[in-house]
Amino acid sequence: MTDISRVAVVTGAAKGIGAATALRLATDGNAVGVVDRPDTDASATVADIEAAGGRAIAVAADVTDRAALTAAVHRVAAELGTISILVNNAGYSHDLPVAEMTFQQWSDMTAIHLDAAFCTTQAVHDGMVEQGFGRIINTSSTSALGTAGRVGYSAAKSGVIGYTKALALELGPAGITANVVAPGFIVSDMTAKTARRLGRSFDEHQEINAADIPVRRVGRPEDIAHTTSFLASDGAGYVTGQVIYVAGGPRG
């Protein structure tokens, strides 16, 4: 454990990719604000970070509640210090074909993946500009390239890419980078849900998908955390506006 040097916020950090990312950023030496829904217990992530010698606080906020989300980010800044690293990881998918998706379900995808990223970026903007340093890492997906039965999710995740590229152009002169991590198949609640929808056991679902992945395995949350760690580092200052597909093979 190195000395704590920066403050990070990770949304959707109670479990899965978010939890792994929060822990990795903490072991890199950052204090971490662990943000997740009020009905999700983020204390385990904080406990893991503290057990590793790091510093973290859990803050409850539904990312679709703009006022609550902004307040959560401001609380992290008030308790831990000016935020230098923002990871917009919170996400969700409705696995439905276009004919069966309601407009509310479509709107949910925009709110969770795009509106939330906009609100958190605004909340950290002034602090990053003032210190002349910032790292914004937004989570997209290989579904941004199009996935049947996920029209809302695919559209929202594609929007994340365009949003991030625009941020990179706008904020680069202020010393702030903005990049996208786009996971492929990662062991998670979301991929487990897809397995159930297809009538498969999760083990079977992983085996089927691994057969089509060049490295012949499915991803783990730690695979995404490693990539995010690099993009959040001082050494990634010349990398911005990029989409890194962490998918066991080429995409895009």
pLDDT digits (tens, 9 = 90+) for 160-170: 999 999 999 99
Q: Is the per-residue pLDDT at 2 higher than 70?
A: no
pLDDT band at 3 (very low <50, low <70, confident <90, very high): very low
Q: Decide if 197 contacts 95 (C-beta within 8 A).
A: yes
Containing H/E element for 104?
helix 103-110
Q: Is the per-residue pLDDT at 122 higher than 60?
A: yes
Task: Tell me, yes or no, whether 109 lies in a domain.
Answer: yes
Rounded to two decimals, the pTM is 0.94
Q: What percent of the chain has pLDDT over 70?
A: 98
**Residue 147 phi/psi, 5° resolution?**
-135, 125
Catalytic residues: 153
What is the C-alpha separation between 121 and 141, in angstroms, rounded?
A: 19
Label the pairing between strands 56-60 and 85-88: unpaired
Tokens, residue 64: 């679709």
Q: pLDDT at position 4, please? A: 45
Tokens, residue 136: 């914004």
On average, the pLDDT of the chain sits at: 94
pLDDT digits (tens, 9 = 90+) for 135-174: 999 999 999 999 888 899 999 999 999 999 999 999 999 9
Domain at 168, CATH number: 3.40.50.720
Task: Tell me, yes or no, whether 214 lies in a domain.
Answer: no
Q: Decide if 121 contacts 167 (C-beta within 8 A).
A: yes
Q: pLDDT at position 251, please? A: 83
Q: Decide if 224 contacts 246 (C-beta within 8 A).
A: yes
Task: Tell me, yes or no, whether 27 lies in a domain.
Answer: yes
Q: pLDDT at position 193, please? A: 81
Task: Tell me, yes or no, whether 1 lies in a domain.
Answer: no
Task: Tell me, yes or no, whether 150 lies in a domain.
Answer: yes
Q: What percent of the chain has pLDDT over 90?
A: 83
Task: Tell me, yes or no, whether 207 lies in a domain.
Answer: no
Q: Is the per-residue pLDDT at 130 higher than 70?
A: yes
Task: Tell me, yes or no, whether 71 lies in a domain.
Answer: yes
What is the C-alpha separation between 60 and 12, in angstroms, rounded?
A: 10
Q: 187 or 81, which is more confident? A: 81
Q: What total of structural domains would you count in the chain?
A: 1
Question: What residues pair up with 244 in beta bridges, in sequence order?
Answer: 181
Terminal CA-CA length for the chain: 36
Task: Tell me, yes or no, whether 30 lies in a domain.
Answer: yes
pLDDT band at 194 (very low <50, low <70, confident <90, very high): confident
Domain that holds residue 112: 7-184+219-246
Q: pLDDT at position 97, please? A: 87
DSSP for 152-195 reads HHHHHHHHHHHHHHHHHHHHGGGTEEEEEEEE-SBSSHHHHHHH
Provide the 10 A C-beta neighbour count for residue 67: 9
Q: Decide if 245 contacts 252 (C-beta within 8 A).
A: yes
